[in-house]
Structure 1
């Protein structure tokens, strides 16, 4: 989205909020070089422009019993508008799907699925493939999370 110009202060605000959205506005303003009111107005403008799309709590999946992360590669059974529509309608029916990407290359879609166990993944797999015909479904199981962040690499130096 390039129609909303971001200056260095906006980028610093975004950088700080991506790292900790619980910062009080006064502290956020201090970190980016603004007083509280101008800082809050900028945050509100970033929200109104759709740049800040939400504020969430990040939760450790393992600590809430979701110990298995699976990357699922999907090859569509066909590339018709009907299949794509069915795919888009099917995804929200499965809470275990936390990310979905349409891909270029050998696969059509990649899903990130988080479930408690292998047995739960097997149930997910069977239900998903019954709900949506696919040419091929390949599952890759994460052994360890080496790095995971929601902070985007925003340039806070260049205006």
Structure 2
């Protein structure tokens, strides 16, 4: 089956589309925010990191954990979706990769309804495939099934 995802070269923090936009990315379940795509997000807006850290700190009273999704408004028509799809962070190679495909799948499923309600498109890097160590051929079908199949326009950005 051919993917409905559009691929562009460029910066996922600067989405190329009209209308409301959601920028989605994968976070870990430890509260760590300091490497990879999150640095580009934090250079542009402080809110996603602050909201993520607060969400993690107050986790006894919320849904923070693998498979959870947090939507943070950063501009009038722009949001960042923090998707918890990574168990810990990679320290040594003996533990395997931190990516958790089932958690990415669950977080994408949670993202679909709010995106549809906003009438937004979704923009992202190759989530779960950078520091999390995942494989795109495992992530792409999840995006197709959870977002594209519901009529949501998705653009993936490959940074130069």
TM-score above 0.5, yes or no: no
Task: Tell me which interval the TM-score lies in, with the shorter structure as reference length.
Answer: under 0.3
State the TM-score, normalized to the length of structure 1: 0.25
Which structure has the highest helix share of the two? Answer: 1
Larger Rg: 1
Larger % of strand: which?
2
